[in-house]
A and B are shown apart, each in its own frame.
Chain A
Amino acid sequence: MTPLNRNQIAWRAAQDLPEGGYVNLGLGMPVLAANYAPEDREFMFHTENGIVGVGPVAGENEEDPDLVDAGSQKVTLRPGAALADSAMAFAMIRGGHIDVTILGGFQVSVTGDLANWDAEVPNKGPLVGGAMDLAVGAKSVWVAMAHTTRDGAPRLVETCTYPLTGVGVVDRIYTDLAVVEVTPDGFLVHEILKDLSRDALQERTAAPLLYSPDCAVLSAPDL
């Protein structure tokens, strides 16, 4: 059993992005999904600072310090892109115009609560950014994260212990071990890593897991 790496988790989430979708990718692992978006579908990637249709990171000769994404990287625009100010960019988010956002996470609860902004690091100031707006505003909220912490503590939990980003907002979770939907009945597993038993997955999860009748094997290409 080899858990997916960060690129493979991002790849797996990207395969589910809908044709024609307006998509916002959070910093860290989620933004990697842009590299693996299926080429036979067209997407418009949105950034909180006002880009609809962000393209690849700028190459050496095309860098423009006045054109950056939400992670302050110098980027390019793709054909059909549009630019807006922040109030408008967040109207797109809060107003329900973003089809999917993929966010990082510390914890997701069985009722879809998300904790992803405050790791309670001592001596460092807080940073919330646009996470709370995305969590309540996007039509569909997906979380890409490792299934457990480095110490093995589950991140899929009954109740989040870290400060919340949003209440009852998460629809799906992509981890290195499984693809899980948050349903009114609880966590529903749609895909589980090859050679990982259901008992072993449950041991790594702090809330009961249900299984889809057509639960499939989670796999990704070498990335």
Chain B
Amino acid sequence: MIDKRIENIAAALDGITDGASVMISGFGGAGLPVVLIRALEAASVDNLTLILNSLRFIETYAPGLFADKRVRKTVSSAARGRGKESSEYELQLEQGTLELELVPQGTFAERMRAGGAGIPAFYTPTGFGTKLTEGKETREFNGRQCVLETALTADFALMRADVADRWGNVSFRGTQANFGPAMAMASRVAVVEVERVLDEPLPPNAIDIPGIFTQRIIAVPDER
């Protein structure tokens, strides 16, 4: 029997090890898995690579990850803290103890989609001629200069959605989806926290992430 529901939050990150890569969805708070982010902070792992659009949410909900220097590298489109003072991760970037791979947001999303879709690399016009693509292979297609970008994959992906069923099918509300579907595809273990888990199957046409892409489902109250 397929049942992707897990008993408790402690099981969410079962099997994670030092040096793991973790994708975290969420945009403007929507789809942000706060319970799972806190579980990652509570897990005794370090040397992490975090793949998420903006670092701000880690500073807000799991400041220990940066404060205890447990993050080695991040792949993000935004690494700017709130306010005028430097945040902890901005200090670590400045000091060179935290590595940042800054990626245009559309390339960020597509690299994960590609990673989940078996496309090892793709050409895109985004970023051509800018410092973010320096040193990358370029090629002209239809008179347009493009840059070769490689796929992104990860050990874990964390996201929040509205509803799931025991088969791991997931449905979002509002703008919760954002990076979730691409991250679920691109990760070995996709963990989804949801408002409700249904005993009966979701209507097949109402599914945003087919359960083939998810591994663990847990219903927990939103802790934003």
- Pairwise interchain contact A129-B78, C-beta atoms closer than 8 A: yes
Contact with A along B49-84 (1 / 0, CB 8 A): 000011100000000000000000000011111001
Considering only residues 89-139 of chain A, those with a C-beta below 8 Å from chain B are: 89-91, 93-94, 113, 123-133, 136-137
Which A residues are in CB contact (< 8 Å) with B210? none
- Pairwise interchain contact A127-B124, C-beta atoms closer than 8 A: no
In the complex, the number of residue pairs spanning A and B with C-beta atoms less than 8 Å apart equals 156
Q: Measured between alpha carbons, how far is A50 from B26 in the docked complex, in Å?
A: 12
Closest CB-CB distance, B107 to chain A, in whole Å?
7
- Pairwise interchain contact A124-B90, C-beta atoms closer than 8 A: yes
Interface residues of A toward B: which range? Answer: 35 or more
From A15-23, A31-39, A63-71, give the one contacting chain B: A63-71
For the residues of A in contact with B, the DSSP-based class is loop
Closest CB-CB distance, A75 to chain B, in whole Å?
9
For the residues of B in contact with A, the DSSP-based class is loop
Given contacts A87-B113, A133-B106, contact A69 B28 (CB under 8 A): yes
Which A residues are in CB contact (< 8 Å) with B181? 85, 87
Which B residues are in CB contact (< 8 Å) with A50? 175, 177-178
Cross-chain contact of B105 among A65, A90, A167 (Cβ < 8 A): A90
Q: Tell yes or no: A175 within 8 A of B by CB.
A: no
- Pairwise interchain contact B90-A136, C-beta atoms closer than 8 A: no
Closest CB-CB distance, A84 to chain B, in whole Å?
7
Closest CB-CB distance, B111 to chain A, in whole Å?
10
Q: Tell yes or no: A191 within 8 A of B by CB.
A: no
Q: Measured between alpha carbons, how far is A163 from B130 in the docked complex, in Å?
A: 7
Which B residues are in CB contact (< 8 Å) with A89? 109
Which A residues are in CB contact (< 8 Å) with B178? 49-50, 85-86
Q: Measured between alpha carbons, how far is A66 from B94 in the docked complex, in Å?
A: 33
Closest CB-CB distance, B115 to chain A, in whole Å?
11
- Pairwise interchain contact A94-B102, C-beta atoms closer than 8 A: no
Chain B residue with Cβ nearest A68? B28
Q: Measured between alpha carbons, how far is A180 from B13 in the docked complex, in Å?
A: 55
- Pairwise interchain contact B102-A86, C-beta atoms closer than 8 A: no
Which B residues are in CB contact (< 8 Å) with A65? 29-30, 224
Q: Tell yes or no: A61 within 8 A of B by CB.
A: no
Which A residues are in CB contact (< 8 Å) with B208? 85
- Pairwise interchain contact A86-B29, C-beta atoms closer than 8 A: no
Closest CB-CB distance, A24 to chain B, in whole Å?
12
Closest CB-CB distance, B124 to chain A, in whole Å?
7
The 10 closest A-B pairs by CB, nearest first: A72-B28, A90-B106, A133-B106, A66-B174, A125-B79, A67-B174, A68-B28, A167-B129, A132-B104, A85-B177
- Would you list 26 pairs from A and B whose C-beta atoms are within 8 A, ordered by A residue? A47-B175, A49-B27, A66-B173, A83-B172, A83-B174, A85-B178, A85-B179, A86-B177, A86-B179, A90-B105, A90-B106, A91-B110, A93-B106, A124-B84, A125-B55, A125-B89, A127-B79, A128-B78, A128-B102, A129-B78, A133-B105, A163-B130, A164-B129, A165-B130, A166-B128, A167-B145
